[in-house]
Amino acid sequence: MGASEDRYSRADLPRADRPIRVGSLLYTIVNPRAGYEVAYNRWYERDHFYSGCMIGEYQFAGGRYVATKDCKALRYGGGQPGDIDPTKGSYIAIYWVLDEHHDDWNTWATKQVNYLHANGRMFLERDHVHTGLYRYAGEFNAPGSTMPLELALDRHYAGIATLKLELAEDVTVDKVREFLAANPCPGDVALMADPLPLLGDSPKDVPVGSNEHVVLVYFSIEDPREVWAERYAPLGKAFADAGLGRVSFASPFLSTIPGTDTYTDQL
């Protein structure tokens, strides 16, 4: 039997044995301005999702999600200077970059987005709410799930729940990872990631955030709104009670439906 036949005889392939694995990611929350919701959605899915990201070197997956008014009503966190405004951020896009190739991709991405700006291919009537590059820091599965993180953006989950956790003083990423590994994962599969720096010539409309945080992305088989109170609302208190820090942003998002204007009238 060949190497691949043996390797893929098991569903729960350890990360170290995966030839394709997430090493870093782009995580970007954006708000279209009033009156431009439909045009923004069409521009992003028909142009920028591909020209700004998916055709890039060593980027191998991407996904888009949308927060309707009822998603925003479930949000918690915020209230301190620099926190994400919970009334903003209607769309989030997430992209996987192949392990050990972040710098290759980052150099391409910065050059490409500046090219798109120079050639009138960007969209002015939108605001970055939070955009950052992140390093893979952990993967977690629900009990019984063998879903690898690498496939999560390609599987049409009902949606995601995402949290931004501001770390308490002296709390390390390792400590957060240990906490998450010791507790049941509320999503089918989840990512933890910590921030990486943007290049100096990145577009000026991308805000610079603090480095003392992690982001968590939980991929939900069920509509995340329907399981929010049971699975995701308690996380903020759990993190605080464990002394890890505070949740500055927590929100459900629904999967977009490409090729349609679905949800653009519900933001």
pTM reported for the whole predicted model: 0.94
Which of 28, 25, 6, 26 is CA-nearest to residue 17?
A: 6
Tell me what pLDDT residue 199 has: 53
Tell me what pLDDT residue 207 has: 46
Instruction: Round to whole Å and give the CA distance between 210 and 82.
Output: 8
Tell me what pLDDT residue 210 has: 54
Long-range contacts of 45-53 (CB under 8 A, 24+ apart): 45/256, 45/258, 45/259, 47/121, 48/116, 48/121, 48/122, 48/123, 49/93, 51/112, 51/116, 51/121, 52/109, 52/112, 52/113, 52/116, 53/26, 53/93, 53/95, 53/109
What domains sit in the chain, N to C, each tagged with a CATH number? Answer: 18-255 (3.30.70.100)
Instruction: Round to whole Å and give the CA distance between 150 and 11.
Output: 13
**Contact at 8 Å (CB) between 166 and 210?**
yes
End-to-end CA distance of the chain: 53
**And the tokens for 12?**
């729960």
Instruction: Round to whole Å and give the CA distance between 77 and 216.
Output: 14
Can you give the pLDDT of all 267 residues of the chain as single tens digits? 468 999 999 999 999 999 999 999 999 999 999 999 999 999 999 999 999 999 999 999 999 999 999 999 999 998 898 899 999 999 999 999 999 999 999 999 999 999 999 999 999 999 999 999 999 999 999 999 999 999 999 999 999 999 999 999 999 999 999 999 999 999 999 999 999 986 554 454 444 445 699 999 999 999 999 999 999 999 999 999 999 999 999 999 999 999 999 999 999
Which of 104, 248, 114 is CA-nearest to residue 168?
A: 248
Tell me what pLDDT residue 15 has: 95
Containing 91, the helix (H) or strand (E) segment is strand 91-98
Tell me what pLDDT residue 1 has: 43
Tell me what pLDDT residue 44 has: 98
